[in-house]
Amino acid sequence: MLSIIVPTYCEEENIHPVVARIRAALDSKLDYEIVFVDDNSPDKTVERVGELQKQGAPVRIIVRKDERGLCSAILRGFREARGDLLLCMDADLSHPPEAIPDMVQAQKQNQADMVIGSRYVAGGKTEEGWGLFRWLNSRVAGLLARPLTAVRDAMTGFFVMPRSVFERAKDLNPIGYKFALELIIKCPCRNVVEIPIFFADRQHGESKLSLAEQARYILHLKRLYDYRYGKASRFIQFCLIGASGIIVNLLVYSILLKLGLQEGLAYALAIWVSLTWNFVPNRYLTFDLTSQQPVWPQYGRFVVTCSLGAVVNWLITMTLSHQGGWFDQHKLFAALIGIAAGTIFNFMISHEWAFRAARVRK
């Protein structure tokens, strides 16, 4: 059986139309159920599903009262669905139900881990009405996920997969909107087939894709990168934060100089401010697994680490540029190598000591 999971929040005007179109497309073709997962919408969404149920439509609804969020709603639906094939789609008819039989067939034919109704393969299309901002937004979001998967439309909310593939996923930890992406990485889905769809604009109600949701996407991406690339992902975050620290350092230094502070003191303060600046995102982002540890001892260890890193930087730069070789004429390059070595040193010691997570024995 096919289970169609439809997450809803305030979709009262879309319930009847979406069910009518699904029925027109699937009745007498497929054995299926429709499972709405609603987060206690204040409008008439739940009543609308009740009406359909009374008319004998193959629908039911799960109402969550204590939680909100698209991904977690779909997850709940997948877990409670009865089918051996799980499909997810929006309620607002952006996703054409008429594509479902093709998607199911493509899954069977290819033994696919996932079939996506895709906007970004030949023949796929998005309704014209998208403003530049939404289009750009969607494209940038897609680009950021490129290193994780080759799937063209991994941002989608329209896909089908066998339950057995879904059940392969262990640490499902989705936040925000991109459930397909989470599954592609965690199940993982290797054989993903994309078939083209026309993505229509919603006719009723409004999108819930807020700015906060987009911030959550960045956090979701970070988790997926850590999951996929482990230490390398954390190293890149460490470097990005470090780069922002350089800007802070220079900014504070120039302000303090303008204020008339003595140079040595001003630079010492600038270093301290940028170090503290770096500490915060490293605690809560790069090494988020340790953010429950007491803050001050951790801060102390980070200060010690960076001070040692400065010594490493200094020693390497000085050694290189006093060898009588090429670096004597190119002292800035010597400094660059010193900085790189210091950064790697800082990261290793941060990882192994300053922000050491409790290691779990396997």
Q: How many CB atoms lie within 10 A of CB 209?
A: 15
Cβ–Cβ under 8 Å, residues 182 and 224: yes
CB of 94 to Mn ion, least distance (A): 5
In this structure, the number of other CB atoms found within 10 A of the CB of residue 298 comes to 20
- Find the part of the chain contacting ligand GDD (CB under 6 A) among 47-55, 103-111, 207-215, 348-356: 207-215
DSSP state of 221: H
Shortest Å distance, C-beta 32 to ligand GDD: 18
Q: Is 177 in the site for ligand GDD (CB under 6 A)?
A: yes
Q: How many residues bind ligand GDD (CB under 6 A)?
A: 25
Q: Which residues between 101 and 160 bind ligand GDD (CB under 6 A)?
A: 138, 155-157
Tell me which of ligand GDD, Mn ion, none is bound by residue 157, counting a contact when its beta carbon lies within the kind-specific cut-off of 5 to 8 angstroms: ligand GDD
Closer residue to ligand GDD, CB minimum distance, 70 or 160 = 70
Q: Which residues bind Mn ion (CB under 5 A)?
A: 92, 94, 202
Cβ distance to ligand GDD smaller for residue 70 or 192: 70
| Shortest Cβ 200–Mn ion spacing (Å) | 9
Contact between 94 and ligand GDD (CB under 6 A)?
Answer: yes
Q: Two tokens at 147?
A: 């290193």
Residue with smaller CB distance to ligand GDD, 9 or 32: 9
Q: Which of 12, 13, 90, 113 binds ligand GDD (CB under 6 A)?
A: 90
Other Cβ atoms within 10 Å of 166 Cβ, number: 21
| Residue 91 contact partner, candidates ligand GDD, Mn ion, none, CB within 5 to 8 A by sort of partner | ligand GDD
Contacts of range 51-58, beta carbons closer than 8 Å, 24 or more positions apart: 51/16, 52/15, 52/16, 52/19, 57/19, 57/23, 58/32, 58/33, 58/34
Decide: helix, strand or coil at residue 267.
helix
Q: How far is the CB of 67 from ligand GDD (least distance, A)?
A: 8
H-only helix segments in the chain: 12-26, 45-54, 70-80, 100-110, 132-145, 163-166, 179-186, 211-258, 263-281, 295-321, 326-329, 331-349
